[in-house]
Amino acid sequence: MQTTSEVNARKPAPISSNAWVPSRFFIALAGLLVTIGVLWLGFIFLRQNDWPQIITTIIAIIWGVGGVAALFTTANMLVESLSLTWQQRIQPYVFVGPAIGFLAWFLFVPTLRTLYQSFFDSDSVKFVGLDNYGATFTDPEMQQSFVNNVLWLVVGTGGCVVLGLLIAVLADRSKFEAIAKALIFLPMAISFVGAGVIWKFIYAYEPKDQPQIGLLNSIIVSFGGEPQSWATQKPLNNLFLIIVLIWMQTGFAMVLLSAALKGVPADLLEAARIDGASEFQAFFRIIIPFIQGTIVAVTTTIAIFTLKIFDIVFVMTGGQYGTEVVATQFYRQFFANRNFGYGSAIAIVLFIAVLPVMWYNLRQLRKQEEL
Amino acid sequence: MAVQQQTLATASPATPRVAKARGRKLTGTILVNGLLAIICILWTIPTIGLLISSFRTREDISTSGWWTVFPHQAYANVSTVQLTPGTPLDQPLVVNGTTLSDDQLVAGFVLPNGQQVKWANRRARLINVQEQRWEMNNNFYLTNYANVLNGQKYTYTAQDGTSKTEQGDNLSEAFLNTITVAVPATVIPILFAAFAAYAFAWMRFPGRKTMFALVVALLVVPLQLAIIPILRDFTALNINGTFLAMWLAHTGFGLPLATYLLFNYISQLPKDIMESAYIDGATQFTIFTKLILPLSVPALASFAIFQFLWVWNDYLISLIFLGGTPKAQVLTMRLANIVGSRGQDWHLLTAGAFISMLLPLVVFFSLQRFFVRGLLAGSVKG
Q: How far apart are CA A66 and CA A64, in angstroms?
A: 6
pLDDT in tens, B295-334: 888 888 888 888 898 899 999 899 888 877 888 889 999 8
Taken in order A233, A239, A242, A246, the sign of the CA dihedral is negative
Mean pLDDT of B47-55: 87
Which chain B positions have a beta carbon within 8 Å of A31's beta carbon? none
pLDDT in tens, A291-349: 888 888 888 888 888 888 888 888 888 878 888 888 888 888 888 888 888 888 888 98
pLDDT higher than threshold 80 for residue B232: yes
pLDDT in tens, B57-97: 877 777 777 887 777 777 777 778 777 777 777 777 777 77
Mean pLDDT of chain A: 83
Percent of chain A predicted with pLDDT > 90: 8
Q: Do A102 and B39 touch (CB under 8 A)?
A: no
Higher pLDDT, A126 or A202: A202
**Residue pair A261/A169 in contact by the 8 Å Cβ criterion:** yes
pLDDT in tens, B13-33: 455 666 666 777 788 888 888
Q: A319: left (phi > 0), else alpha (psi -120 to 50), else beta?
A: left
DSSP, collapsed to helix, strand or coil, labels residue A333 as: helix
The one-letter code for the residue type at A205 is: Y
Q: How far apart are CA A301 and CA A285, in angstroms?
A: 25
Model pLDDT, residue A49: 63
pLDDT higher than threshold 90 for residue A162: yes
Mean pLDDT of B210-232: 89
**Measured CA angle at A306 (ends A296, B378), to 5 deg:** 50
Longest dimension (CA), chain A: 92
Cβ-based neighbours of B216, under 8 Å, separated by 6 or more = A361, A362, A365, B256, B260
Which chain A positions have a beta carbon within 8 Å of B67's beta carbon? 215, 218
DSSP, collapsed to helix, strand or coil, labels residue A45 as: helix
Here the ipTM equals 0.84
Q: Residue A235, preceding bond cis, omega within 30 degrees? A: yes
Q: What is the pTM of this model?
A: 0.83
pLDDT higher than threshold 60 for residue A4: no
**Residue pair A179/A167 in contact by the 8 Å Cβ criterion:** no
Model pLDDT, residue A155: 93
pLDDT in tens, B334-378: 888 888 888 778 888 888 888 988 898 888 888 877 777 777 765
Q: How far apart are CA A197 and CA B344, in angstroms?
A: 11
Element containing residue B164 per DSSP (H, E): strand B163-167
pLDDT higher than threshold 50 for residue A9: no
**Residue pair B91/B108 in contact by the 8 Å Cβ criterion:** no
List strand residue ranges (DSSP E) for B36-182, in order.
72-82, 93-95, 98-100, 109-110, 116-121, 126-135, 153-157, 163-167
Asked which of A30-34, A272-276, B120-124, B176-180 is least confident by mean pLDDT, the reply is B120-124
Cβ-based neighbours of B271, under 8 Å, separated by 6 or more = none
Query: Comparing C-alpha atoms, which of B293, B299, B306 is closest to residue B254?
Result: B306
CA B288 to mean position of chain CA atoms: 37
Q: Do A170 and B315 touch (CB under 8 A)?
A: no
Question: B1: pLDDT confidence band, cut at 50, 70 and 90?
Answer: very low
**Residue pair B40/A183 in contact by the 8 Å Cβ criterion:** yes
Q: How far apart are CA A354 and CA B219, in angstroms?
A: 10
**Residue pair B321/B240 in contact by the 8 Å Cβ criterion:** yes
pLDDT in tens, A198-222: 998 888 888 777 778 888 888 888 8
pLDDT in tens, B163-220: 777 777 888 888 888 988 898 889 889 989 999 999 998 888 888 888 999 998 888 8
- For residue B156, what are the β-bridge partners? B164
**Measured CA angle at B51 (ends B45, B54), to 5 deg:** 135
Query: Comparing C-alpha atoms, which of A49, A44, A316 is closest to residue B327?
Result: A49
Among A96, A170, A343, the residue with its CB nearest the CB of B35 is A170
Cβ-based neighbours of A253, under 8 Å, separated by 6 or more = A160, A161, A163, A164, A165, A168, A298, A302
Which chain B positions have a beta carbon within 8 Å of A339's beta carbon? none
Model pLDDT, residue A154: 92
pLDDT higher than threshold 80 for residue A48: no
Q: Please check whether residue A295 touches B, CB under 8 A.
A: no
Q: How far apart are CA A269 and CA A279, in angstroms?
A: 9
Question: B110: pLDDT confidence band, cut at 50, 70 and 90?
Answer: confident
Angstroms from B173 CA to nearest CA on chain A:
8
DSSP, collapsed to helix, strand or coil, labels residue B118 as: strand
Model pLDDT, residue B228: 87
Mean pLDDT of chain B: 81
Query: Comparing C-alpha atoms, which of A184, A178, A177, A165 is closest to residue A264?
Result: A165
pLDDT higher than threshold 60 for residue A11: no
Chain A residue whose CA is closest to B277 = A13
Cβ-based neighbours of B237, under 8 Å, separated by 6 or more = none
Angstroms from B25 CA to nearest CA on chain A:
11
